[in-house]
Amino acid sequence: MPARIFLDNAATTPLDPTVLAAMTEVMADTYGNPSSIHAEGRKARSLIEAARKTVANALNCSIGEVFFTSGGTEANNMALKNAVRDLGVTRIISSPLEHHCVLHSLDAIQATGAATVEQVRIDALGHVDLEDLAQRLNSDDDRKTLVSLMHANNEIGNLLPLEEVAILCADAGALFHCDTVQTMGYYPLDLAATRVNFLSGSAHKFYGPKGVGFVYIRNENIIKPYLDGGAQERNMRGGTENIYGIVGLATALERALLEQDDRMVKMHDLKRYFVDQLRQRVPDVRFNGDTERSHAKVLSVSFPESPKGDLLLMNLDLNGISASGGSACSSGIDVGSHVVGHLHPESLRHTIRFSFSHHNTREEVDEVVRKLGGML
């Protein structure tokens, strides 16, 4: 049976073998509760704190600003909802292209009446309109404001000019929350140089395990626990820590940073090659977003209408190719991209998101393009 071609790395990535080995060792040998003061507990605690230091070094921040969570969804919920509850935020500026965990969190916040939500204008390519953001921030509205914008869009890959947005927020006295789930481990982040108040990451996007992530909370932003319970995570997140998951996250992040440049070169090459091959072989193909100012691993493609167009995803799967029509959602049903629906609603039914890994090859791209030719 031929090997499948996995081009859905924006949804998740395969577990790196070195990460699996590190996690397996912890599962076998480190069974103490990190909150216990005996030798087994202290050993478990030392692994968590070493992992915290790894994340802090990657972000160039203090270890006291890093808190482990169950993933990006919890981290984003924690930042947004606690900023309203504990920091007096009554106005949030975001965009209609954010991940659903942010959009749905904002809906929940707005439904309580605790804060209002504004959506910044998006240009034709799907970038945040920085002039519109600046105007909103510099308006006469004196309410405490938080800006929530993702670093790289998980559907079309567009990259946010992080430093520019951070400066706009700082100058206006606004808090800045950034979802970096797609960029953590791929692009350098320096929080000593770039003023971000809240930032989120998730291990399974950079070849680590599912079910573990982290939130960065700038020291000056004092919030209360999101999950009440014991004194874990310095009284910020109740519940016994996922030790082997946290070790897996740190191991994956260390490896991602070590190989960052090489991985990005490979993914940039694959993405450009795929774009060139599709342009040559598929008339009227369209790429959503900005293929130049975007994440190396994400490519959203709208294919021309055809009798088989509605079955593209299913036919790709049947032919051993994994891709998606939008972000992976909790129901397991691919309902298409809300991002593409916002930018090009007429293309939604014929849009596929391909997302690359450094494990993919040009030969796999050739095979995908060849099989696509028989499906259109």
Q: Which residues of the chain have pLDDT under 50?
A: 329-332
Query: What's the predicted TM-score (pTM) here?
Result: 0.95
What are the boundaries of each domain within the chain? 5-14+260-373, 17-258
Say what the pLDDT of residue 95 is: 98
Q: How far apart are CA 157 and CA 128, in angstroms?
A: 13
pLDDT at 2: 77
Task: Output the pLDDT for position 335.
Answer: 59
What pLDDT is stored for residue 348 in this prediction?
66
Classify burial at 174, counting beta carbons within 10 Å of its beta carbon; exposed 0-12, middle 13-18, buried 19 or more: buried
Locus of tokens 């953001």: 133
CATH code assigned to 17-258: 3.40.640.10
162 phi/psi in degrees, rounded to 5 = -55, -50
Catalytic residue ranges: 329
Confidence (pLDDT) at 331? 41
The pLDDT assigned to 247 comes to: 98
> Which pLDDT score, from 0 to 100, does residue 4 have?
97
Phi and psi angles of residue 242, each rounded to the nearest 5 degrees, phi first = -85, 80
pLDDT of residue 308: 67
| 3-state SS, one letter per residue, for 220-232 | CCCCCCCECCCCH
Q: Which residues contact 273 (CB under 8 A, 6 or more apart)?
A: 362, 365
Strand-pair category, 351-355 with 298-302: antiparallel
Q: For 51-69, b where at least 16 C-beta lie within 10 A, e where not — what string?
A: bbebbbebbebeeebbbbb
The whole-number pLDDT of residue 346 equals: 76
Give the model's pLDDT for residue 211.
98
Distance CA 9, CA 297 (A): 8
Q: Which amino acid is at 361?
A: T
- With CA atoms as reference, report the closest residue to 206 among 267, 161, 164, 150: 267
CATH number of 5-14+260-373: 3.90.1150.10
What backbone phi and psi angles, to 5 degrees, belong to 307? -60, -30
